[in-house]
């Protein structure tokens, strides 16, 4: 199941209790001169081990920690596999994991749902709530993207009063031309940086035919969280394990180096050459050794 489909298929689980233009170019490889910095904390997006988490969220969190990860990005968009927030928090504490952010369905920032969303975020220790994707009808016009930017500003203003940031996570199909402008650009430019911070998914940018380095140069100060993901080729329909694709991931991190210890860096592996847990272990080994 594709990431966007997963979010929208299961996103209703969160709400049910409450209510009943740059051109794309070939990206460079991850080679080149290494800097002296390394990541102090590395996270994993829980979607990477989605099948295992359906079977046992507790064991999956234990496996994530054993693989070396410090943080995990949760999936409020499906109520964390139908597990109550207090129970998830107990699991995180038991395994020594932090969950500084989550992905949520777009309905979570609606006025009727936002306070409950923020209450749950406080239980789980989230500092960031990222809208995982927009609903299909919102992706049909530039005006719709801009309107969602306004909604994020409104929700972000409320969230900041409680010490939480609202943000947006990009997908490949957000990089489509609508009315003469890239839809994703319209949304980012509409959002207010004083209340909204964004998450850049490097692989999804490339799947949309764009270079994440270009987006770091354009909007780098807007990105406070990253999905570090590789791809075998531009506009690929699937990702690749870290370091086995074409993206200059070292370059992305180098451009993000300012305040990098305050930013959130996650691995997200959506497709695998073998067992998912083995794949995310290899990803950790690669990114934990990376100097930028």
CA distance 142 to 236: 25
Q: What is the pLDDT of residues 237-262, one digit of tens each?
A: 999 999 999 999 999 999 999 999 99
Joined together, the tokens standing for residue 244 give 């086995």
Question: At 100, which CATH number?
Answer: 3.20.20.150
CA distance 36 to 159: 36
Is residue 25 situated within a structural domain? no
The predicted pLDDT at position 2 comes to: 55
Is residue 27 situated within a structural domain? no
| Mean pLDDT computed over 150-174 | 98
Please name the residues in contact with 209: beta carbons below 8 A apart, sequence gap of 6 or more.
24, 172, 175, 234, 235
Joined together, the tokens standing for residue 246 give 């074409």
Is residue 229 situated within a structural domain? yes
| Mean pLDDT computed over 12-27 | 37
Q: What is the pLDDT of residues 214-238, one digit of tens each?
A: 999 999 999 999 999 999 999 999 9
CA distance 271 to 279: 9
| Mean pLDDT computed over 256-282 | 97
The predicted pLDDT at position 35 comes to: 81
Position with higher pLDDT, 1 vs 188: 188
Is residue 19 situated within a structural domain? no
* pLDDT class of 33 with cuts at 50, 70, 90: low
Asked if residue 6 has pLDDT above 60, the reply is no
In the chain, how many domains are there?
Answer: 1
Is residue 88 situated within a structural domain? yes
Q: What is the pLDDT of residues 64-93, one digit of tens each?
A: 999 999 999 999 988 999 999 999 999 999
Is residue 200 situated within a structural domain? yes
The predicted pLDDT at position 14 comes to: 38
Is residue 70 situated within a structural domain? yes
CA distance 94 to 105: 27
Q: Number of helices (H) and strands (E), helices first, in the chain?
A: 13, 10
Contact (Cβ atoms closer than 8 angstroms) between residue 232 and residue 238 = yes
* pLDDT class of 50 with cuts at 50, 70, 90: very high
CA distance 263 to 246: 24
| Mean pLDDT computed over 107-129 | 98
Is residue 22 situated within a structural domain? no
Domain limits at 173? 3-14+40-289
Q: Residue 262 burial (CB < 10 Å; 0-12/13-18/19+)? A: exposed
The predicted pLDDT at position 57 comes to: 98
| Mean pLDDT computed over 32-54 | 91
Mark 75-94 as b/e (b = at least 16 C-beta within 10 Å). bbbbbbbeeebeebbebbee
Number of C-beta neighbours around residue 273 at 10 A = 10
């Amino acid at each position: 199941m594709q990431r966007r489909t997963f979010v929208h298929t299961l996103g209703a689980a969160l709400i049910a209790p409450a209510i009943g233009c740059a051109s794309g170019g070939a990206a460079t490889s991850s080679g080149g001169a290494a800097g002296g910095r390394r990541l102090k904390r590395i996270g994993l997006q829980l979607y990477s081990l989605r099948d295992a988490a359906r079977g046992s969220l507790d064991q999956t969190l234990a496996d994530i920690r054993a693989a070396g990860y410090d943080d995990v990005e949760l999936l409020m968009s499906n109520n964390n596999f139908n597990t109550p927030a207090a129970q998830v928090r107990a699991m995180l504490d038991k395994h020594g994991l932090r969950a500084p952010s989550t992905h949520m369905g777009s309905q979570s920032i609606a006025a009727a749902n936002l306070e409950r969303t923020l209450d749950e975020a406080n239980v789980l220790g989230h500092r960031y709530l990222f809208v995982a994707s927009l609903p299909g009808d919102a992706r049909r016009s530039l005006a719709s993207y801009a309107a969602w930017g306004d909604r994020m500003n409104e929700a972000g203003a409320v969230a900041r009063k409680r010490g939480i940031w609202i943000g947006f996570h990009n997908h490949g199909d957000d990089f489509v031309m609508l009315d003469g402008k890239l839809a994703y650009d319209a949304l980012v430019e509409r959002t207010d940086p004083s209340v909204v911070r964004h998450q850049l998914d490097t692989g999804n940018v490339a799947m949309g035919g764009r270079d994440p380095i270009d987006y770091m140069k354009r909007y780098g100060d807007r990105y406070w969280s990253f999905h570090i993901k590789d791809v075998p080729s531009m506009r690929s329909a699937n990702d690749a394990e870290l370091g086995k694709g074409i993206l200059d991931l070292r370059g992305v991190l180098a451009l993000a180096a300012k305040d990098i210890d305050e930013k959130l860096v996650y691995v997200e592996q959506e497709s695998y050459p073998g067992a998912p847990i083995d794949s995310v272990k290899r990803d950790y080994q690669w990114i934990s050794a990376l100097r930028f």
